Amino acid sequence: MNDVIPIVLSCNDSYLKYAAVTIQSILENCSQKYKYIFYILANERKLSQQAKEKFLKTSTIRDVFFSIKIIDINDDALPKLHVIAQITKEAYFRLLISNILDDDKLIYLDCDIIVKYDISKLFEIDIGDNYIAAVRDMFGFDFQKYIETLDLVPENYFNSGVLVINNKLWKKFDVGNKCIEMLANNPKIKFMDQDALNIICKDKVYYLNRRWNFFWYYSIEIIKQKGILNHEIQSIYNELSNNFYIIHYTSAYKPWKKRYFKYADLWWMYAKLTIAHKQLFWESELISRYFLRRLIGSNNITISGERYKILYLFFLQILIKK
């Protein structure tokens, strides 16, 4: 077996620091019998020099068994595809993998991921003559109906955040370009490149153990209260909640914004090991809101039965009796 494991991530300038956390988690837990090459697909012209320099020396681990390469992708390499807040142009860069890399097999990861197990074990899985290996997605009844409109079996629909790619077959059967063509002709499909991959790779998917892509979405209390978790999802969640290899911070809720959500502490444990940890800390939504309320704001309190208003003006606190 090849002693090099290629791992591909795709991001823009704002997500580069989160990719660093993903990489740090991999390096903390991987077997050193392999060398790991991290390929970052990005439009290099849109990366700030400061962010790039900080990213390239992201890890405190000695780089004897890994390297990081930024691969410049020109936006013009893709047709005008639909983008939204959560799915940027960079999300489509992975569809160009076979045009860029010659490795027979590789791993693709989203940047909102923590790997807490030896990732070489994922790479070593024999996926046969399938184009990709992935974990089945989990969703409610409404989403099942949508999947059926794509002429797909809902139970076989996969999440594309963690993929083992048979690049030899991906290249031979032109998987990426077929996805791009489908997206260009069907701009209204809901989950863009993930839908396209499910359609093009239909019947050529090796389904991984769910431990390899645990969705934190279903651990969020707000989601639980909405009643989205049916009995099957709840059962799967309970089985995996303390037994996963990879956690995928799916949804708009992210651990760098919601520091005290369940499993956010795991993300921050690895974030603290990166060069960018101070920047991540100060950018976090909770900390920002906490200090804004106390830099300029007010609060009502009761002292010995008397009502007071505290005015916060930067680091001054002014007590006014009501």
3-state SS, residue 223: helix
Roughly how many angstroms between the first and final C-alpha of the chain, as a whole number? 75
Does the pLDDT value for residue 85 go beyond 60? Answer: no
Does the pLDDT value for residue 179 go beyond 80? Answer: yes
Look up the CATH number of domain 4-274.
3.90.550.10
Query: CA-based Rg of the chain, rounded to a whole angstrom?
Result: 22
Weakest-pLDDT range from 35-49, 236-250, 270-284: 270-284
Q: What are the extents of the domains in the chain?
A: 4-274, 287-321
The pLDDT assigned to 322 comes to 67
Evaluate whether 61 touches 32 at the Cβ level (below 8 Å).
no
Per-residue pLDDT reduced to its tens digit, 6-48: 999 999 888 899 999 999 999 999 999 999 999 999 988 888 8
3-state SS, residue 318: strand
CA angle 10, 15, 21 (to 5 degrees): 90
Confidence band for 52, pLDDT divided at 50, 70 and 90: confident
Does the pLDDT value for residue 317 go beyond 70? Answer: no
Does the pLDDT value for residue 123 go beyond 70? Answer: yes
Give the whole-number percent of the chain exceeding pLDDT 70: 78
> Is the model more confident about 58 or about 252?
252
